């Protein structure tokens, strides 16, 4: 009795998921996505200038936690400020007022004043209570796990000397968990570290750990920092509230490369995130095509074999898009790196090769693509 019902429900769920699945971007949009996702382009522009400045939790909070932390900081600063200013002002005033002058004034002789002492013990206590009470709530918001995690994205963050791996354990949102969404990004790159990609207004739960020594994951704009320690998991969560690219640096001394163990995070909207996840899924398969393309000269036979092998494994629109994306993205990264081919020559060569691949795809995927 129950079983068919459940089957029906599951079917409905499947249909609704299928209906909501994102549209494959057109081939022309490849370059837009490369500009959006490629960390090398996000680090420095063509003229080697900084693209995005680093932002902090206090000047430009970019998550719900950072916003709360910034507010709490300004509030505490305000309450505590008299205890900073008053002694300084008093000190200068006393030194001036009671300086030794040739006026024969005798110094005072008092050695205590109980009432005064009670006052300057009690007033700081009151100030601490005023600050301490809201801190309790914020602390529990930051540290106690959120109650409803169904829509959350879950990412395992793994620190290793001197880079970060991000394993997406659950993409969250409307994507059902049963899809077994586990894929990894992260590799040692010259330039910025590969960014963790997050969705605006979707909470991310991070499980942090390390492969070797301790590190700490810290993107100042998000207002969270956690050590990554081998043998345990630590956790943070926050909801990114601003689109954009955010930078950080490892915050726990981890050896020679500590200073260049950079962190980058990219916050995009739902649709772009879907494109990114799809391109990540097929990323590994595109490696062979890229290796056939990336040399100074291209062996047409090897390229045809590589593209053929890629398409044989699947030729869905997403796979085709991913192939185009990764070729364009890798070419863009290559253009940034020192090599035999440089600058405009490299750009032209790469454009020609992209056309070559495009022709191969059209030929190999046959009449269906050709008619489009």
Binding to another protein in span 240-269, by CB under 8 A: 247-260, 262
Q: Please state the three-class secondary structure of 101-166 as a single string.
A: CCCCCCCCCCCCCHHHHHHHHHHHHHHHHHHHHHHHHHHHHHHCCCCCCCCCEEEEEEEECCEEEE
Show Cβ contacts of residue 32 under 8 Å, excluding neighbours closer than 6 positions. Answer: 25
Region binding another protein by CB under 8 A among candidate stretches 41-49, 278-286, 310-318, 323-331: 41-49
Q: Does 372 participate in binding another protein (rule CB under 8 A)?
A: no
**For another protein, which is the closer residue by CB, 210 or 323?**
210
Burial of residue 305 (CB within 10 Å: 0-12, 13-18, 19+) is: middle
Mask: binding to another protein, 328-367, rule CB under 8 A, as x and -? --------xxx-----------------------------
* Segment 59 to 118, residues that bind another protein, using CB under 8 A: 59, 66, 68-69, 72-73, 76-77, 80, 83-84, 87-88, 90-91, 94-95, 98-101, 105-113, 116-117
Rounded to the nearest whole angstrom, what is the least distance from the CB of residue 143 to another protein in the complex?
4
Q: Please, which residue, 48 or 313, has the CB nearer to another protein?
A: 48
Planar angle of CA 195, 198, 201, nearest 5 degrees: 155
CA angle 91, 95, 97 (to 5 degrees): 110
CA atoms within 13 A on the CB side of 105: 9
Return the residues of window 111-150 that contact another protein according to CB under 8 A. 111-113, 116-117, 120-121, 124-125, 128, 131-132, 135-136, 138-140, 142-144
The residue (of 16 and 120) whose beta carbon lies closer to another protein is 120
């Amino acid at each position: 009795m129950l079983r068919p019902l459940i089957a029906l429900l599951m079917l409905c769920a499947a249909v609704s998921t299928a209906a909501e699945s994102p549209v494959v971007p057109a081939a022309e949009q490849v370059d837009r996505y490369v500009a959006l996702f490629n960390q090398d382009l996000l680090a420095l522009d063509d003229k080697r200038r900084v693209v995005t400045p680093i932002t902090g939790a206090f000047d430009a909070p970019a998550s719900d936690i950072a916003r709360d932390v910034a507010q709490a900081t300004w509030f505490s600063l305000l309450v505590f400020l008299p205890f900073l200013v008053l002694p300084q002002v008093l000190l200068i005033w006393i030194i001036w007022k009671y300086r030794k002058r040739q006026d024969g004034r005798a110094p005072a002789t008092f050695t205590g004043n109980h009432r005064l002492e009670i006052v300057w013990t009690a007033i700081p206590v009151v100030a601490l209570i005023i600050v301490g009470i809201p801190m309790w709530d914020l602390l529990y918001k930051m540290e106690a796990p959120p109650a409803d995690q169904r829509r959350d994205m879950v990412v395992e963050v793994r620190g290793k000397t001197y880079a970060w791996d991000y394993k997406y354990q659950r993409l969250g949102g409307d994507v059902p968990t049963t899809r077994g969404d586990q894929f990894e990004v992260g590799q040692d790159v010259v330039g910025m570290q590969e960014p963790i990609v997050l969705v605006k207004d979707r909470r991310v739960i991070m499980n942090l750990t390390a492969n070797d020594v301790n590190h700490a994951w810290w993107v100042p704009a998000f207002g969270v920092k956690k050590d990554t320690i081998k043998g345990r998991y630590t956790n943070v969560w926050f909801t990114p509230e601003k689109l954009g690219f955010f930078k950080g640096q490892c915050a726990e001394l981890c050896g020679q490369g500590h200073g260049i163990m950079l962190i980058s995070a990219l916050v995009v909207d739902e649709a772009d995130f879907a494109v990114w996840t799809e391109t990540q899924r097929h990323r590994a398969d595109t490696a062979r095509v890229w290796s056939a393309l990336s040399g100074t000269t291209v062996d047409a036979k090897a390229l045809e074999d590589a593209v053929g092998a890629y398409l044989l494994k699947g030729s869905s629109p997403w796979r085709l898009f991913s192939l185009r994306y990764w070729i364009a993205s890798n070419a863009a990264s290559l253009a940034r790196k020192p090599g035999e081919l440089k600058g405009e020559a490299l750009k032209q060569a790469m454009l020609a090769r992209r056309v070559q691949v495009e022709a191969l795809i059209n030929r190999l995927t046959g009449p269906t693509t050709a008619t489009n």
